[in-house]
Chains A and B, each alone.
Chain A
């Protein structure tokens, strides 16, 4: 049992977990719809993933294996501390390997490795309302969702094209879920939007400060909004990962010195490590000679 008997399993009390589970079930029943829930104070500041942590706490069981990523990385402060938190209060096994995890809590990324049936992806969401920056009144945005009035969302995309010549929104790119609700995919890069479409995994979104939970059930249609003559496109990178030579993955730019030196590396650290373990080497992996094998 738990190493800290003073806490209930997974920190939250049972009634709170039931309340959150009811919200999750409703969210799954109405894909893309934002379900209000009585968000609790968590032992971390708002903006650090209080929504995601509550969703994870409500669904985690003793047999689950938890992975936490932040901007794709398993080793950043946020990821490490949330992983340690659940290891302590729920005594669950944790991992950094995408394939081994049953629950993956994430901030800003979807793992590169395709998720499989039975896995659950929990997103930490800062602003669940995709129309927030366009229409400040919450009463009005709710009516717009209810009546499926989404013309305003395209006004934003129109502005992008008029100003930049292309749709310049690169993260939090709005999607239409199952032809009904426009949803914010949380601040993931639009690179990850296609992975949400018809995903085998269950996707849950928790916004703690805003007190909203929404969900995309497995095998649900998720379409990024666009114009007929300006179709949705994802980011493309000209060079491969400097460590594992991967192409077709999302890369982070890392500054190396103060003379303009920089490198592009995989944002998904697990994917990068896995590739290197299988012998892939990039230009700056420090083992360039071995890579020439």
Chain B
């Protein structure tokens, strides 16, 4: 981790008409840091993530991103072309439902290779080699490279989606409930894989989850949201072991013990 943040968010608010999505969110994200955003359904987690990833325009506030050339840019002032370029090179977005983030009717290899082709790679052999390499890193067998994700299991689809996002070596990845809808053993494998990749590549990530175990395993810091506001934030272990806010205490004590 370095001393210069990658993303600076100040006073970010999003209202849907009169209804509150999220308000007054402030944080800094450092390179290589994983931030978990937790809270119950309707607490504004996904609204925040969609604002950060520029899928939604916030009502007010700024989010400044340090580009690869060390220039700070407010991501809401970027032109459409710059924004889309950023999203397919320096950023990644892992959807909860893999079908939202994958092209289900083209092969796994083409799914991984799409970003490479989008930034101008025109050598089939190289694209395919990268795709095979990345499939290996997310533990998908090489002989599935020409299969469509429709024939993949849920866990494999999610891993494929991760490979597709990481192929351009992004510095920042947004994840929306990456383990949602997977059974526990598959979840455990995926978390293990994600933790390895994040550490190995030095990725910064913002992970939205309602699963505190996911936050515990993956994140360095966490923010707890309730009713559109951040009510508590800090190091993950501190928040989970010594929750201060009554709501956080409730959340932590609600975890089922087996």
- What DSSP secondary structure best describes chain B's contact surface? helix
Q: Which residues of A contact B84 (CB under 8 A)?
A: 147, 149
Partner of B114 from A152, A161, A162 at Cβ < 8 Å: A152
A-B complex: 3 closest residue pairs judged by Cβ atoms? A151-B118, A154-B117, A227-B124
Residues of A within 8 A of B117 (CB): 151-152, 154-155, 158
Q: A154-B117, A158-B117, A229-B125 are in contact. List 7 more A-B contacts (CB 8 A).
A: A147-B84, A156-B106, A158-B124, A163-B107, A163-B146, A228-B123, A229-B124
16 contacts between A and B (CB under 8 A): A147-B81, A149-B118, A152-B118, A154-B122, A155-B106, A155-B110, A158-B124, A159-B106, A162-B107, A163-B107, A163-B146, A227-B123, A227-B124, A229-B124, A229-B125, A230-B124
Please, what's the 1-or-0 string for B100-114, where 1 marks a CB less than 8 Å from any CB in chain A? Answer: 000100110110011
Chain A residues within 8 Å of B80, by CB: 143, 147
Q: What chain A residues lie within 8 Å of B106 (beta carbons)? A: 155-156, 158-159
Q: Hey, which bits of chain B sit against chain A, CB under 8 A?
A: 80-81, 84, 103, 106-107, 109-110, 113-115, 117-119, 122-125, 127-128, 145-146
CB atoms of A158 and B109 under 8 A apart: yes
Contact A161 B124 (CB under 8 A): yes
Partner of A227, one of B110, B115, B118, B122: B122
- How many Å lie between the Cα of A115 and that of B113 in the bound state? 40
Q: What are the interface flags for A130-153 relative to B under an 8 Å C-beta threshold, 1 for contact and 0 otherwise?
A: 000000000000010001010110
A167: nearest chain-B partner, CB-CB: B124
Minimum Cβ distance to chain A for residue B96 (Å): 22
**In the complex, which residues of chain B have a beta carbon less than 8 angstroms from the beta carbon of A147?**
80-81, 84
In Å, the complex CA distance between A4 and B106 comes to 54
Q: How far is the CA of A166 from the CA of B119 in the complex (A)?
A: 22
> What residue in chain A is nearest B79 (Cβ atoms)?
A147
Contact check: which of B81, B114, B146 meets A151 at CB < 8 Å? B114
Q: In the complex, what distance in Å separates the CA atom of A156 from the CA atom of B84?
A: 21
Per-residue CB contact flags for chain A residues 115-141 toward chain B (1 = under 8 Å, else 0) read 000000000000000000000000000
